[in-house]
Chain A
Amino acid sequence: MGGKTDILDSLTLELRRGTIVLSVLSQLDTPKYGYALVQSMEKRGAGIEPGTLYPLLRRLEKQGLLVSEWETESAKPRKYYRRTPFGDGIYLRLREQWEQLVQNMEQLLKEGVQHEKTI
């Protein structure tokens, strides 16, 4: 059943997509450059493609959630991103939303399990 795994893959991807911004914001209380972020997220099981992350960082900067600064003293120029105070505020609110979401989902899924037992 190749179709089943395809559908599952795309649904999983969709489910994770919503969490990307929150997970990126969570890491940027201290300045980090893109690739360091790729690696640290990978280590925490929340891997993200550079092709997704780099454009996202720029978008968040444009929205005022992040600021960036070029570090050009070393051989490789690196762009460091960190949260702005505005970004801090948004991050905290998003985190509350997330916690609420987790609670609600757990409740929903628990009911689902009970329902399964009755069928």
Chain B
Amino acid sequence: MKKPYEQEIVDRYVYDVVRRLPQVQRADIEKELRTLIEDLLEERAAGGPCGKQVVDEVLSGLGSPALLATQYRGADRHLIGGEYYDAYWWILKIVLLCVGAGTVIAAIVSFFVGLPVSDSFDYSRYFTDWLADNIQTVVSALALAFATITIAFAVMERCQAKISMGGGSWTPDRLPQVPDRKEIIKPSESVISIVALVVFMVLLAVAPHLIGYWKVVEGSLQVISIFDLEAWPRVLPLLLLGFALGIVQEVVKLVKGRYCTTVAAVTAAVNLVSFGIVTVVFGCMPVWNQKYAQQLAAELQKTFGEHDLLSIWGEGRFTLLLLGVFFLAYALDTAVVFYRTFRAQRRPV
């Protein structure tokens, strides 16, 4: 009865519905759907020929395969639901804006830093190379930022869903207290932290060679970087992971909006892991440009005295000093959050 087009378009329709469904249901729904379409075709054709127009009308009547598959799946499926959606969207916008602006600015700066002044220089080649490198950098930085934020929220969504489903029925005594002014975590604090973290991430990822001592030699800019750029590809992922954890922590603070056990636990965990990362990076990896102090001394034509930080540059004492500072910072941050959480929970009702 059916001609090739009609047969083919029905096959395509059924396939497009079924591929969106769980494996176990596919065969059954496919059989059911095919019979339904045949019934509809017979009725519509009313004994007459069953041409292209009839088939198209029937399939249009059934609606888009995506919609039909959604109805078959039933349950509302989402990655980030209503409760977190506003916060997610807001943070995503801020972070993408920072990353976008940061990487573009860094790209523009690196254009001028690498630019030699010479008549015989192939400027069009330099420009196309620069463009290719930097478009890739900007796009992958944006993708990484998007992925980090989305994963953080998706994890929170899953945890929240588990908590609200596993905890039985809701009763009014589960309502959190209206927070005291001192318990509230200001959104602006978290946002400023996120912006700062993102700016640092961008700087470290895109322009480590620009962090250091700048000098102008014969009209072109040169930089002595404080980092060991050869080891940088190994160091960078760990540092970015640390910063990403910091962003996760700020996102949790922003969403919770108050000092509570979740915020305290996340802060403690993030700070612990971050300190671990810092210890590995600065303790075991060649982060620093070992010749920085030497090069700088030659550049400035002076030697660094005993009280100068640069006199111990790259030595074990330097690393210990650095780790000590990090330890104090993380410990202080954790202690402050725990103190505030503790105080919030002891508040008389």
Interfacial residues, chain A to chain B (CB-CB below 8 A): 33-35, 49-52, 54-55, 58-59, 70, 76-79
Contact = CB atoms under 8 A, between A and B. Distances in A.
Contacts of B28: 79
Given A35-B40, A59-B74, A51 B68 contact: yes
Interface string B46-76: 0000000000000000110001100110100
Q: Sort A-B residue pairs by CB-CB distance and give the 3 closest, nearest first.
A: A55-B71, A35-B39, A55-B72
Nearest to B67: A51
12 contacts: A33-B35, A34-B36, A35-B35, A35-B39, A49-B63, A50-B36, A51-B67, A51-B71, A55-B74, A59-B74, A70-B31, A76-B35
B50 to A, nearest CB: 15
Contacts, number: 40
Interface in B21-54: 25, 28-29, 31-33, 35-36, 38-40
A54 B31 contact: no
Contacts of A35: 35-36, 39-40
A75 to B, nearest CB: 9
A76 B32 CA distance: 10
A77 B62 contact: no
Nearest to B70: A55
Interface residues of B, number: 18
Given A50-B36, A50-B62, A58-B29, 15 more contacts: A34-B36, A35-B35, A35-B40, A51-B63, A51-B67, A51-B68, A54-B36, A55-B71, A59-B74, A76-B38, A76-B39, A77-B31, A77-B35, A79-B28, A79-B35
Contact of B32 (A49, A51, A52, A54): A54
Contacts of A49: 63
Taking each of B25, B67, B71, which has the highest tally of chain A beta carbons within 10 Å of its own beta carbon? B71
A50 B38 CA distance: 13
A109 to B, nearest CB: 32
A52 B40 contact: no
Contacts of B74: 55, 59
Nearest to B72: A55
B13 to A, nearest CB: 12
B71 A78 contact: no
Nearest to B64: A51
